[in-house]
Structure 1
């Protein structure tokens, strides 16, 4: 089985440069993929083995489409580093089987690959660093006067609905003149890998518990580089000034709504 899986990976790698890029959505925090084995297999055990192989191949294809940041995808990292390619292979081989069933179409196996945490996609592709997270900019970097507090706030929701935002493991928030409000430089390697510093939701009303019971909500003006929300200078200052009170950014209590 190990040799067969290695062959599947090698063939998938060869095809990587020949296929059009399609971004993979990680809103749910996992890659959940299904594989199918033909009913013509001699028995159920071999059918499920074939289905799992198919699921692992599909997982590799899905993983390639994940944005790390606005400039890099998992596919780019695999192509650039044999070490990362090996980590990805190991991660997929160790993926958890969450469902198995048989129907008229064949044998089915569903596997899940976590985006963050131990044995996750982030652990495989994010470069380890011992550097200290950079401090956040001052609110006055963006506006002359610090806005009066309207909090305290438990987190931040950036509403990006209708702007075509893609999900990423390490996005950033910018102002219209391309100044970084916050991003991966402001977080430790452990934070990024274990939990991430941004969650995603498809609704401003549901799936936003990460931002707590009283989140600050701002509307993005646009999206930069597919994955980075752009907020007004006033909203950037508001985010940073409110964060000074409760520290929600440092806790990663942030949700981007797609």
Structure 2
């Protein structure tokens, strides 16, 4: 083979053999079988097929036992969806409890969730079901009462700072310094934050700096309002926030469920100015850095979340 032919083939192999890895972000576990990746929004459950032996081929598994494992996995998947917090006030389960039609649609979607296995890609003798907190599912579980893109920032019941300007008359930093930012990263590590679908980043002045009021419902459904991550590696975060994100430090978490973040008033003014540039809001290019989850976080967290599902 001539060198002129070999080089293009080699380059093509290198280009397509290693596709870019999806930004999984924080991977929250639910017991031993469920995971939720807050970067991609993917929920998945891997369930063993009853009666599967280590030395038994997957083709020998009975269709009934496989079907039973899939049903159990999808039930687990539904429980995980219901335990996800929408915001500091309610879980998905609490929201759906007031609308039987929506609840039925969510159940139907989960009952037809993507199924894989046994043994195609995962460990032999297991089945895997998955769904995403994006697209159709997000449309169903995000309340219509959320006023997306209203441009009216919410206000904390008690402001955390005194003697600072409100967003209406605060001197926002403008010019090339803000236009150059490609996203926002809020470092909330150490604050024991609870991930949610619609968190709010507040300034110490008590007004929202980023949240549903700045982004469209369509963009949130497609991308998620924020992504959570345990890694501060710029190369990892770049997929979500670009190569030059604005980095700010969180000062505290707000609410009984600690879903919202509080940053300095000066940082809040800068975040508001940066988000107004368009691409950041359109792409929901915001990442919140959180601590790595504890090992036992799965069932314990789901139980605590279910207990607080009706919180208002």
TM-score scaled by structure 1?
0.78
Does structure 1 residue 27 correspond to structure 2 residue 38?
A: yes
Distance (whole Å) between structure 1 residues aligned to residue 262 and residue 224 of structure 2: 19
Q: 1:98 to 1:234 in 2, by over 3 A?
A: farther
Given that 1:136 and 1:181 are in contact with CA atoms closer than 8 Å, whether structure 2 keeps it comes out as no
Distance (whole Å) between structure 2 residues aligned to residue 91 and residue 245 of structure 1: 36
Q: 1:255 to 1:99 in 2, by over 3 A?
A: farther
Aligned residue in 1 for 2:10: none
1:171-192 alpha-carbon deviations (Å, 9 max, x no partner): 1111235321221133222222
Does structure 1 residue 154 correspond to structure 2 residue 182?
A: yes
Aligned length: 230
Does structure 1 residue 235 correspond to structure 2 residue 267?
A: yes
Given that 1:69 and 1:168 are in contact with CA atoms closer than 8 Å, whether structure 2 keeps it comes out as yes
Q: 1:132 to 1:173 in 2, by over 3 A?
A: closer
Given that 2:166 and 2:205 are in contact with CA atoms closer than 8 Å, whether structure 1 keeps it comes out as no
Shift of 1:140: 6.0
Shift of 1:195: 1.8
Aligned residue in 1 for 2:171: 145
Given that 1:25 and 1:167 are in contact with CA atoms closer than 8 Å, whether structure 2 keeps it comes out as no
1:96-149 alpha-carbon deviations (Å, 9 max, x no partner): 1244239xx99421111101123x2x1221234797721266x96358433465
Shift of 1:62: 1.1
Q: 1:241 to 1:84 in 2, by over 3 A?
A: same
Q: Secondary structure at the match of 2:127?
A: strand
What's the Cα RMSD here?
2.9
Mean alpha-carbon deviation: is it higher for 213-222 or for 143-152? Answer: 143-152
Distance (whole Å) between structure 2 residues aligned to residue 144 and residue 131 of structure 1: 23
Given that 2:183 and 2:241 are in contact with CA atoms closer than 8 Å, whether structure 1 keeps it comes out as yes
Aligned residue in 1 for 2:232: 204
Q: Which structure: larger Rg? A: 2
